[in-house]
Amino acid sequence: MFFPGSLATTLKIECIVEQTYGPWWQSLHRTMLRGILGKTFRLVGYTIQYACIAHCAFEYVGGVVMCSGPSMEPTIQNSDIVCAENLSRHFYGIQRGDIVIAKSPSDPKSNICKRVIGLEGDKILTSRPSDFFKSHNYVPTGHVWLEGDNLQNSTDSRYYGPVPYGLIRGRIFFKIWPLSDFGFLRDSPNGHRSPGD
């Protein structure tokens, strides 16, 4: 007795629904679409959310970077994987002798990885060791002087001049690949080049 009554009610409701909303497959289609749209928006929302958090983590905390090029040999070889941290840059704690990643002054789309030889106000020896007359330059305010460890094969501040501090993106402090060279990075093999040291 219970079931026929409920069946009748269901059929009656279905008739009413059909009159108001059209055939049953149309309302099913609408509900499915709304569900899919809702799910898509939610997925996009979550993606944007986590992309923003990941981006901020990479920019403010640090990340893993692969370096390419011969200009920092023997400290960092080609295709080495290193860890960079970005906190020193924001707290203006970059020191002489640090290896930093910076945006290239001659190509804003690429990054360079060099050692900080001089900070603002330092006197840098810019002449080649083979020159007879030594020439010095002072690093202007807000700039740093970058040089690669592999002096013969490095395009650095000796070529494009002092680099503004605002281009520095992070400081490399640890190498994780290759495993034979795992650990903190060595000091510069070239000794100290500014008389201020």
Catalytic machinery residues: 71, 114
DSSP string, the chain: -HHHHHHHHHHHHHHHHHHHH-SHHHHHHHHHHHHHHHHHHHHHHHHHHHHHHHHHHHHHTEEEEEE-SSTTTTTS-TTEEEEEE-HHHHTT---TT-EEEEE-SS-TTSEEEEEEEE-TT-EEE-S-TT-SS--EEEPPTTEEEEE-SSGGG--SHHHH--EEGGGEEEEEEEEEESGGG-EEPPPPTT---STT-
Interaction of residue 53 with a second copy, rule CB under 8 A: yes
With 0-12 / 13-18 / 19 or more C-beta atoms within 10 angstroms meaning exposed / middle / buried, residue 65 is middle
Tokens 């049953």 map to which residue? 24
Interaction of residue 107 with a second copy, rule CB under 8 A: yes
Interaction of residue 33 with a second copy, rule CB under 8 A: no
Interaction of residue 194 with a second copy, rule CB under 8 A: no
Q: Which of 27, 77, 104, 137 binds a second copy (CB under 8 A)?
A: 104
Interaction of residue 40 with a second copy, rule CB under 8 A: no
Interaction of residue 106 with a second copy, rule CB under 8 A: yes
Interaction of residue 19 with a second copy, rule CB under 8 A: no
Q: Which of 77, 83, 103, 151 binds a second copy (CB under 8 A)?
A: 103
Interaction of residue 58 with a second copy, rule CB under 8 A: no
Q: Which of 96, 114, 115, 143 binds a second copy (CB under 8 A)?
A: 143
Interaction of residue 22 with a second copy, rule CB under 8 A: no
Interaction of residue 49 with a second copy, rule CB under 8 A: yes
Q: Please, what is the minimum distance in Å from the beta carbon of residue 37 to a second copy? A: 18
Give one word for 97, left, alpha or beta, with left for phi > 0 and alpha for psi -120 to 50. left
Q: Which of 7, 15, 56, 87 binds a second copy (CB under 8 A)?
A: 56
- Which one of the spans 11-19, 45-53, 78-86, 184-192 is the region binding a second copy (CB under 8 A)? 45-53
Interface contacts to a second copy, rule CB under 8 A: 46, 48-49, 51-53, 55-56, 92, 103-109, 140-143, 160, 163-167
